[in-house]
Amino acid sequence: MEALLENKVALVTGGSSGIGEAICRLYVKHGAKVTIADVQDEKGHKLAEELNQNGQVAHYVHCDVSDADSCKNMVDETVSTFGKLDIACNNAGVGDGETLTGDKDIEQWNRVIAINLNGVFYGMRYQIPEILKQNGGAIVNMGSILSSVGFKTASAYVAAKHGLLGLTRNAALEYASSNIRINAIGPAFIKTPLLDALDEEMKQSLIQLHPVGRMGEPEEVAELTLWLSSEKASFCHGNYYAVDGGYLTQ
């Protein structure tokens, strides 16, 4: 197997479970040292210990991406631990409450925007200066199919994910000439802890939204993230890649 990230240092927000965990596992499998950033301390420490036992190098740091200082500390600790930063995946996110826009709780709106949009900006704000020191690298921002279409009762999530896509494209324009590749991924409904609270009937209704007839697996998103993080994607800047089982073709 070709190691696509040999001698690279990466960080992944929301890295202790779901898509983030799958990305961390694949990054280290391909030779990267990785910072697992999350608010789920027990899961994060456990994952780091497991990866290190397998001879891979991982480090956990507590990070609340809705707080700019916490994001700065995440990057500072990564550089302090591993000496540099080459790759970042801004993956942390939360779901929305099932309410119409006219009934949306203000605190819920602010929380979703703070984590799903502000958190991506805060991450890049401190990641980019360090990646510039390495004469380039890659950033992958985890959007959604809802970065490009709407979904009833999820106005905060849709707004944040649309904003993430605009932020990704703008930053990509700014740093393409500095050899930083910044792209976004748009997963459809993926089997992650975010969906655990749904009953079986709701899960079946979500499955039916995908022409392929199933939800996605975290590993399927991780594979695209790996490619975009590697030099295999050397000419890819400011793009949006759906991983959606045909959802957006409808």
Residue identified by tokens 């799903």 is 116
Cα 34 → chain centroid: 14
Strands of 180-187's sheet, edge to edge?
58-62, 33-38, 9-13, 87-90, 137-142, 180-187, 240-243
Residue 63 · residue 39 · CB < 8 Å: yes
**Calpha distance 135→65 (Å, rounded):** 25
Q: For residue 163, what are the contacts with CB-CB under 8 A and spacing of at least 6?
A: 113, 117
Residue 15 · residue 65 · CB < 8 Å: no
Q: For residue 2, what are the contacts with CB-CB under 8 A and spacing of at least 6?
A: none
Name the active-site residue from 27, 157, 241, 247.
157
Helix (H, G, I), strand (E, B) or coil at 175: helix
Q: Is 157 a catalytic residue?
A: yes
Beta bridge partners of 89: 12, 140
Annotated catalytic residues are: 157
